[in-house]
Amino acid sequence: MPYTVKEIAQWVDAVVEGDDGLTIDRLAKIEEAGPGALTFISNPRYEKHLATTAASAVLVPKDFPAANKTLLRCADPYFAFMTLMQKLYGAAPALPAGVHPSAVIAQDAVIAADAAIGPLVVIGRGCRIGRATQLHPGVVLGDGVQVGEHCVLYANVSVRENCRIGHRVIIHCGAVVGSDGFGFAFRDGRYHKIPQLGVVVIEDDVEIGANTTIDRATLGETVIRAGAKLDNLIQIAHNVEIGSHTALAAQSGISGSTRVGRHVRIGGQAGAVGHIEIGDRAAVGAQAGVTKSVPQDVFVSGYPAREHMSAKREEASLSKLPELLKRVKRLEETLAKLQTKS
């Protein structure tokens, strides 16, 4: 910083409409942007701010209407803005390579020379840590855990024994990978614990939010496929499979042995029962309760979850129910009077 609009447009393959010589010294939200700032519009609900924003330039879709503002027209303004954030601000500071003297590491653990092991990290027997991976303070790896290359495990992440993590995985503070699945058999008036003997497998390029919990399988594997993104405070139960490039928003939960397909979107506080399938490219609305399998490419919402437009029509009908009951009561009173007269 600073850069000209022309330079920035070249980085994100945008076409400038307006003054390409303007100087940009920061990125900002459209509601908060001032002179010298670059902002973006990708959602129509934010178009109203264009007339009042003080931003010097705005990233917009290619077909955006003309405006009295310098525009950078591009295929995907949101992605372009993210690209600029990475280029101009970079990632969070990395831990320096090496092992902090307070770390407790088993003698047979294998750690890449350029890995970063922070204060009070505990690494169990037989663990393997790949190149350029960072373990921030308080991370605990149980025996036999494998962590790939270029991973970042932030403070107080716990990974239980024998779980496997791929490359370029990010796990945020307080997440727990490989806790026991919720398995009990009820007999003679009490619950008996079922041993949880499986593992969790997290494939490449997954990101897991803070305080999310992923249970180990009873037998076999709980699997988070490549590129999946899990928000904060999510519960993934034993033997669940989350498909590649699927996204789950905060406080959602998936019950045991459910399979979630590829490119699925699950809204915040949504939940799914166990032993069902959610098909590829399906979508589940916020706070939906999924009680049966969902076909691929279908958007469901509500409780119990059903096709989204049907759910909206039913909700609209319910809002009219009080007035309908009043009308029925008046009709009943009128009918009763007519019967009395006759």
Which residues are part of the catalytic machinery?
Answer: 238
Number of residues in the chain: 342
- Which DSSP string corresponds to 116-159? EE-TT-EE-TT-EE-TT-EE-TT-EE-TT-EE-TT-EE-TT-EE
Grouping H, G, I as helix, E, B as strand and the rest as coil, residue 244 is coil
**CA pair distance 262, 137, nearest whole angstrom:** 33
Nearest to 240, CA basis, from 285, 290, 193? 290
- CA-based torsion, 215, 217, 221, 222: positive or negative: negative
Residue type, 169: V
Bridge partners of 215, per DSSP, are 179
Q: Which long-range CB contacts under 8 A does 113-119 form with residues at least 24 apart?
A: 118/155
Which of 277, 281, 311 lies closest to 291, judged by CA?
277
